[in-house]
Structure 1
Amino acid sequence: MTLYRQLLITTLILFFLLFVSAYSVQFSSTRNYLAQQQEFMVINTATSLGLALTPYLENEDQLGAESVINAMFDGGYYRKVELNLLAGNMTITRENIAPPRGVPAWFSELGLFEGGHHQAVLTSGWMQLGQLYVEGHTGHAYFQLWQGMSRLLAWFSISFALVWVALVMALRHLLKPLHDIELQARDIEQHHFGKTIALPATRELKQVVQAINHMSGKLEAQFEEQADEAERLRKRAFLDHTSGLGNRAWLTAQSQSWLDDDRGGALVMVSATVLNWLYKEEGFEARDQMLRVIGKHLRQLCRDFGEHVLARISLTEFAVLISEPDPALLKQLGDAINRRIAELVKDPGDERELSVVGIVLVQPGDDISRLLTRADHALNRARINETGVVVDAHQQRERLGRLQWKARLEEVLDSNGFELSTQAVMNFSGERCHDEVFVSIRNNDIAYGADHFLPVAEQFGLGERLDLHVIACVLRILESRPELKLAVNVTRQSCHQEGFWRKLSQILERYEPVRDRLLLELPESAFALGWERLISPLAGLKVDWGVDHFGRHFDLLVHLGKLRPVYVKLDHGYTSQVQHPDYNDAFLAAVCRAAHSMGALTIASRVETGEQVERLKTLHVDAYQGFVSPPGRLL
């Protein structure tokens, strides 16, 4: 029970006992007063009636005596008046046995009043004339007591209710700092920092609030320091500081994840020969400035082609792993790169070769060395033939064209023909954290993974429909299988569409009992395009979520505390080499510490052997996922 309720109940009980005590004292005193009043009235009545009857009894006027008794009986509250005439051996009796009026029967049956009675002997000198008996009626006393105590009880009840309301308001006001401290403590427990509590007027609470605010600020600063440390380590290892792009080590690490995921696409190699003659004519400062500008334009051009990895691999060469497999579109990208670099030159009439582009498609079994060699050959052909761009489209890996995939995807969406499988995310204690859902399409008895049709879905604007369809399907499965907790991947295209979040919210409302067992997994590239726009939609859904391929984009780690995901899935490029003897785990450790500081789990992906599991266990990773736990069919 909360302190607020304890104080409220205790205070109300004390007030109730006070009211009951006061009411009991008032009830007892009123009852005694009415009983005494009735006793005095009976004595006075018997005395006055005896004086009035004596003359009639002396004259033996029975009718007169009876008239006096009737007048007295009718004018007062008496239960019985009886006169025994000694001379005539006669009795005159008047009785009123009616129950009290205006009083509940149960109240009059409590026996609170005896009525009072008095007996007197009427004499004339030394001679006894008669015996008079007067007994009061309790009805009037019950009526007076009932009316008085009812009004008092009503006032006490109203007063108690007013005290209750006033006490609730007062306690809420006085205990508000404690409530704020409780909320702040919960936020700190969940690794949410930065919010300060207003200082209360109460001295003791003021000191506590100051301590809480100071602790929250220090924890926030500590998290930011850890995030900055991780970013410094990553930039030191993977950033080309002149261009602001990744370096060759960055391309190698990222390509490992890219090729292992069998995502296809192409490798684009750009040779900016303009940098050589710019260095000869204007010096290294002009060259470095041009490097930065070219890097900026390459980022802008590649961003429109979806998921990509961009790096500077030598003095004048850049390489881009891109998810686009269409040779025609790749040729357009190469032309756009050459055109954009040419526009940066001051002399538009300069006929020197400014840049050339070589592009090769990723084939099954490729590694980064083979890709770079093939791309370098394409680059040389472009330079020798003076064509500007060469696309080596030999042995394309796609069996279906874009329009065929579009038609097939729309057909499967209409017929709900997806095949769903799951792969477990396990912690190092052997417990299952959750399962990730994988979507595939079967065509001609071959199951094609999402990497085959996701580029088509994003190109033709089907990403939102695909995501909503899969999420609704998974929610229906969760209704029938309460033991499951499933994570669903969301496309980058959907993340930045307001309509998607609105429709998703409507779907989740229909499945409110099971939505707490749904996890959304967003690609890190979606946050790289504007993480601020995703905070509000994610907070409004009231659904846990995580970040996939975490670590591919620079500078996102420092914003992790504002994003507050439940988990981050580390990019395979950082964990694939953990078994190598010369592996440097400093950056991985820094990322994990930063994630832990804000309450997020860290998950290693594509773990295939028990040896990898044992090695990851010695690092700061919380859980793992991969073919060490093979996928299972869900639907």
Structure 2
Amino acid sequence: MTLNKKLLIITSVILLLLLAIGFFVQCKMLQFEHQQQQRVLLNKSTQFIKVALIPYIEIGDTQGIEGTLDVIFDGKYHQKIEITTFPLDEIFTRTSRLTSSQAPAWFTGLGLFPQLTSQASVMVHSEAFGDFEVGRVELTNNPASAYNELWGEVSKLFILYLTTFIVCVVLFFIIYNLNFRSLIRLRDSAIRCQKSNDGSNIELPKESDLKPIAQTINALSTQLKVYLDGKSKQIEDLYKMAYEDSTSGLGNRDYFISQVKEWIAEDGVGGMMIISIDILDEIYQKDGFMARDQFLKSIGETLQLQLKPYDRHEVARFSDTEFAILIPGVNQQELLNIAENLNGNISNILVNPLSAPRIISTIGAAMRTDQESLPELLSTADQALLKARMDHLEIYIKEDKSQEQLGRFEWKRIIETAINQQQIHFYIQPVFAIDQKTRLHTELFSYIDDGQKTYSAGEFMPAVEQFRLGDKLDQHILEHLIPLLESHPEMNFALNWSRTAITNEKFCAWIIQTLIQNKGLAKRLCFEIQESVLLKASDRIQNTLEELRAHGYMWGIDQFGRHLHATDYLKRLHPDYVKIDHTFTKMLVKDINDTTCLSAICDIAHGAGARAIVTQIESQAVLDSLKGLPIDGYQGYINPPHPLK
């Protein structure tokens, strides 16, 4: 609750209490006045009736008494009149039938006006006996009239007080808003500053007591930006030291192996090649290390440029004269075409067109089509490289004769059939809070089972992206999940969006409409997007992510930290959580005491208001080493995936 609202509520409550006390006092005063009026009217009426009846009682005129009573008895104010005549020994009575009141029953039930009775003796004078009593008048009032009059006055008084209260509250609201305008601007500026985290200063207010607050916020904002920028630079430097070859600008051997391990863990298919450039030693001996390093840098730039069209490719300097490349989702012919292009572009860097032709680079390649492990894949590629050297070939691909490779259009058919015939199934893996007690969510992994063979996501996702089937696949998965979540309230899932789905405007419009229609699932369904997708299309999908947040849905970033040079998108998008790339966990596995990088990247996530979740936690020892670090959750094979039944 804002200070403005709190003060308005407190002031309104105090005003309400004061008005209630005033209203109560005035009501009691009005009640007392009407009681006094009732008594005075009753006494006057009694005396008037007594005087009017003396002549008739004195002579014993019964008809005169009856006629007088009929004329002077007012049923509006009197409930009952009783005349007793001693000479006639008769009692004359009149009773009012007007007992109902216009006031509500609960009001008359308060007993504000007790029934009053007044008596008076009728006295006459004679010379023989003096003054003697000849009759008695007894008059009872009717409180209905008093209730009616008091109810009318109280109603008007209540309306007056209520109007006064409403007018005062409105005036208080206007006055507080006018006086708190600077504070509200200061608050809004502080919120914008918090969301942007860019160190921008907020405007200083005119009020002298608010200026120090604004100046303090500006100072803290600047310090926070310097701190986060320093952390980002520190992580980037440490990351480069651990995983980057400074000469070529590519990843090093450790980086390449960690990426291949992740790809294999996802049951990925595709090709790997090792490029050997033996002429590097010749360049070093002839022109020195500077010429060699320049050639290495040119090779690195060429490889990155040529491989840019291929999603999730990895390229690294594997040794002094060798480069390793991983290209998921390609078949053998595509891998051969890529290798030929790479060889040609590497040769163009160095070879003079007029010089005699010679082999500049030799490529050995291998395909992963089944369950080959990392050592098997590296050994196959190394054997292919050895074969190319022995046979003086530029390229040699080790063929897999054990099974037939599926072509691109065959993969397309398998995927479309799986979507149309309900052949998409799921594995699930829990994500726990670091206390190991609270389950944050459950990540969903899809696979295809056509009844004869099972295909993992690592096998068919390259074709999904290539043929832009991501929107159809993700729509099918979400349509399957919604009824599942509705029938199982204990479930909650995180769904990975494919690149071609989240960048498709029609799909984004459909998913927003679908999620709005199912707002009850907002706390049980979240979405994940790969960091590489955000870097390429953050502007296009920002509106979609903002709408998700507006309707209560959470989203996170997968593989966070692979692109430390470009984390500015965090300041605009504000994810709910990030899943830190497994390479940072691998640093911890190598040295369980080296937590610098992991702590720093968690600080960057927290600076953007996101929870930090580490991935690929495979042992209790690694999990125990995370205690005390600024980590919110973990995921990995310590809790392995299992089928969703």
TM-score normalized by the length of structure 1: 0.74
For the 8 Å contact 2:75–2:95, the answer to whether it is kept is no
Residues 489-528 of structure 1 aligned to structure 2 (within 5 Å): 489-509=496-516, 511-528=518-535
Measure how far apart 1:546 and its partner are. Answer: 3.5
**1:510-539 Cα shifts (integer Å, max 9, x gaps):** 554445233433333222323344444234
CA distance, structure 1, for counterparts of residue 34 and residue 595 of structure 2: 94
Do residues 632 (structure 1) and 642 (structure 2) align? Answer: yes
Letter in 2 for 1:422: I
CA distance, structure 2, for counterparts of residue 544 and residue 449 of structure 1: 26
**1:51-105 Cα shifts (integer Å, max 9, x gaps):** 888899999999889877765557996667778888x758795735232565348
CA distance, structure 1, for counterparts of residue 452 and residue 58 of structure 2: 134
Which stretch has the larger CA shift, 559-568 or 285-294? 285-294
For the 8 Å contact 2:434–2:632, the answer to whether it is kept is yes
Equivalent residue for 1:232?
237
1:464 to 457, 468, 471: 471
CA distance, structure 1, for counterparts of residue 593 and residue 387 of structure 2: 33
**1:209-261 Cα shifts (integer Å, max 9, x gaps):** 76567556644543333222212222344445676544555435434434554
CA distance, structure 1, for counterparts of residue 82 and residue 634 of structure 2: 104
Residues 278-427 of structure 1 aligned to structure 2 (within 5 Å): 298-299=303-304, 301-311=306-316, 319-333=324-338, 358=363, 360-363=365-368, 364-367=372-375, 370=379, 373=382, 390=395, 392=397, 394-395=399-400, 399-425=405-431
Do residues 538 (structure 1) and 537 (structure 2) align? Answer: no
The alignment partner of 1:409 has SS state of helix
CA distance, structure 2, for counterparts of residue 78 and residue 125 of structure 1: 36
For the 8 Å contact 2:81–2:95, the answer to whether it is kept is no
Letter in 2 for 1:121: M
Do residues 594 (structure 1) and 604 (structure 2) align? Answer: yes
Do residues 153 (structure 1) and 153 (structure 2) align? Answer: no
Equivalent residue for 1:603?
614
Aligned CA distance change for structure 1 residues 395 and 574 (closer, same or farther; 3 Å): farther
Aligned CA distance change for structure 1 residues 12 and 595 (closer, same or farther; 3 Å): closer
Measure how far apart 1:454 and its partner are. Answer: 1.2
CA distance, structure 1, for counterparts of residue 556 and residue 564 of structure 2: 18
Aligned CA distance change for structure 1 residues 370 and 148 (closer, same or farther; 3 Å): same
The alignment partner of 1:516 has SS state of coil
The alignment partner of 2:399 has SS state of coil
The alignment partner of 2:149 has SS state of helix
The alignment partner of 1:229 has SS state of helix
Letter in 1 for 2:414: R
Letter in 1 for 2:456: G
Aligned CA distance change for structure 1 residues 53 and 163 (closer, same or farther; 3 Å): same
CA distance, structure 2, for counterparts of residue 27 and residue 423 of structure 1: 70
Which stretch has the larger CA shift, 149-158 or 135-144? 135-144
Do residues 451 (structure 1) and 458 (structure 2) align? Answer: yes
Which stretch has the larger CA shift, 112-121 or 20-29? 112-121
For the 8 Å contact 2:193–2:221, the answer to whether it is kept is yes
Residues 127-206 of structure 1 aligned to structure 2 (within 5 Å): 133=137, 135=139, 137-138=141-142, 140-160=145-165, 162=167
Aligned CA distance change for structure 1 residues 451 and 265 (closer, same or farther; 3 Å): same
Equivalent residue for 1:103?
102
**1:548-605 Cα shifts (integer Å, max 9, x gaps):** 3344334245644655445444444444465557996643443344345544233231
CA distance, structure 2, for counterparts of residue 442 and residue 529 of structure 1: 32
TM-score normalized by the length of structure 2: 0.73
Do residues 25 (structure 1) and 25 (structure 2) align? Answer: yes
Letter in 1 for 2:308: R
Which stretch has the larger CA shift, 480-489 or 105-114? 105-114
The CA RMSD measured in Å over matched residues stands at: 5.7
**1:348-370 Cα shifts (integer Å, max 9, x gaps):** 99998898684623442454864
CA distance, structure 2, for counterparts of residue 325 and residue 192 of structure 1: 41
CA distance, structure 2, for counterparts of residue 461 and residue 324 of structure 1: 14
CA distance, structure 2, for counterparts of residue 190 and residue 212 of structure 1: 13
CA distance, structure 2, for counterparts of residue 313 and residue 227 of structure 1: 27
The alignment partner of 1:529 has SS state of helix
CA distance, structure 2, for counterparts of residue 369 and residue 82 of structure 1: 123
Residues 75-86 of structure 1 aligned to structure 2 (within 5 Å): none
Letter in 2 for 1:30: L
Measure how far apart 1:392 and its partner are. Answer: 2.2
Letter in 1 for 2:644: L
The alignment partner of 1:464 has SS state of helix
For the 8 Å contact 1:267–1:371, the answer to whether it is kept is no
CA distance, structure 2, for counterparts of residue 288 and residue 500 of structure 1: 47
Which stretch has the larger CA shift, 330-339 or 257-266? 330-339
Do residues 553 (structure 1) and 563 (structure 2) align? Answer: yes
For the 8 Å contact 2:263–2:458, the answer to whether it is kept is no
Which stretch has the larger CA shift, 147-156 or 410-419? 147-156
Gap runs ≥5 in structure 1? none
Letter in 2 for 1:229: Q
CA distance, structure 2, for counterparts of residue 626 and residue 52 of structure 1: 108
CA distance, structure 2, for counterparts of residue 338 and residue 304 of structure 1: 17
Gap runs ≥5 in structure 2? none
For the 8 Å contact 1:100–1:140, the answer to whether it is kept is no
CA distance, structure 2, for counterparts of residue 630 and residue 143 of structure 1: 80
Letter in 2 for 1:605: Q
**1:144-163 Cα shifts (integer Å, max 9, x gaps):** 33332332234334444555
The alignment partner of 1:22 has SS state of helix
CA distance, structure 2, for counterparts of residue 23 and residue 314 of structure 1: 92
Measure how far apart 1:460 and its partner are. Answer: 1.7
Aligned CA distance change for structure 1 residues 573 and 266 (closer, same or farther; 3 Å): farther
The alignment partner of 2:444 has SS state of strand
The alignment partner of 2:537 has SS state of coil
Aligned CA distance change for structure 1 residues 420 and 255 (closer, same or farther; 3 Å): closer
Aligned CA distance change for structure 1 residues 102 and 219 (closer, same or farther; 3 Å): same
CA distance, structure 2, for counterparts of residue 57 and residue 629 of structure 1: 111
The alignment partner of 1:223 has SS state of helix
Which stretch has the larger CA shift, 251-260 or 573-582? 573-582
Residues 30-69 of structure 1 aligned to structure 2 (within 5 Å): 30-41=30-41
Identity of aligned residues (%): 27
Aligned CA distance change for structure 1 residues 83 and 595 (closer, same or farther; 3 Å): closer
Letter in 1 for 2:614: I
The alignment partner of 2:156 has SS state of helix
CA distance, structure 1, for counterparts of residue 153 and residue 566 of structure 2: 76
Letter in 2 for 1:531: S
CA distance, structure 2, for counterparts of residue 136 and residue 119 of structure 1: 15
Measure how far apart 1:414 and its partner are. Answer: 1.5
CA distance, structure 1, for counterparts of residue 140 and residue 625 of structure 2: 101
Equivalent residue for 2:443?
436
